[in-house]
Amino acid sequence: MNQTTFLLTGFEPFGQSRINPSEQVVQQLATRRFEGFELATAVLPVHRTRGPQTLLTAVQQTNPDAIVCLGEAGGRHAISIERVAVNLMDYGIADNDGQLVQDEPIQPDGPAAYFTTLPVRQLMQAVQGAGIPAELSLTAGAYLCNQVTYELLHYLAQQQRDIPAGFVHLPFLPQQAAVRPGKFPSMALETMVTAVSTILHTLHNHLATS
């Protein structure tokens, strides 16, 4: 019998930030041991082509049973579980290679959108049950976070790989909000680590019982 493997990814810092909560959560969880599953991790570049490529390469190399991608969403107050990824690139800021894309499809022949295939409501309730603010979100934006999710779900659909896969947006870390002029909500790293750990355990139970 095979070991269950989950793939967890984050992003490198971008924009004005020199840190990214998703990278830090991945780094924290990469060193932990989980009962019932192994965790493979990757940190994706914030780069129009290399971001999705790095994710798909990690999928091919780790052959995971479920995939949770993480990213930063400054301005959100809660663990924000995405329901859908759309076939649109409309960057608000340039990627780390300086590329700025407006109103272009990710896959010119792809469908308008994919729904994520994680048990999103169950994950939200589990995170809330752990005393951490969580919400379902109907938009992952039109930047790299949405793009890697769309590319991932497009790849899995084409490969007919029926595994749970999706995206979770994280608020700013306190130290990111501390240096910004606006009134940005934030969340402690340890709270985020607990939330994502709860998501992974809930996902494991979900797979074990479905």
Among 84, 145, 156, 165, binds its own copies (CB under 8 A): 84
Given the residues 23, 72, 145, 151, the one annotated as active site: 145
- Reply yes or no on whether 82 is catalytic: yes
Nearer to its own copies, 53 or 128 (CB): 128
Taking CB under 8 A as the criterion, the residue among 93, 100, 179, 208 binding its own copies is 179
3-state secondary structure of 162: coil
Q: Which stretch binds its own copies (CB under 8 A): 28-36, 47-55, 57-65, 113-121?
A: 113-121
- Applying CB under 8 A, which of residues 131, 162, 209, 210 lies at the interface with its own copies? 131
Cβ contacts of 203 within 8 Å, gap of 6 or more:
6, 66, 68, 118, 119, 123, 164
Residue 113 interacts with its own copies (CB under 8 A)? yes
Is residue 145 flagged as an active site residue?
Answer: yes
From residue 23 to residue 62, the character string flagging contacts with its own copies as x (rule: CB under 8 A) and all else as - is: ----------------------------------------
Least separation in angstroms between CB 58 and its own copies: 24
Angle made by CA atoms 120, 123, 124, in degrees to the nearest 5: 85
Which residues in the chain belong to E strands, given as ranges? 5-11, 38-44, 66-72, 79-82, 84-86, 113-115, 134-137, 165-170
Tokens 């340890």 locate to: 190
- Of 23-31, 59-67, 78-86, 158-166, the segment contacting its own copies by CB under 8 A is 78-86
Residue 83 touches its own copies, criterion: CB under 8 A: yes
Q: Answer yes or no whether residue 141 interacts with its own copies by CB under 8 A.
A: yes
| Rounded Cα gap, residues 90 and 86, in angstroms | 11
Query: Is 69 annotated as catalytic?
Result: no
- The residue annotated as part of the active site, out of 23, 72, 82, 151, is 82
Classify burial at 56, counting beta carbons within 10 Å of its beta carbon; exposed 0-12, middle 13-18, buried 19 or more: middle
Q: Are 22 and 70 in contact (CB under 8 A)?
A: yes
Catalytic positions: 82, 145, 169
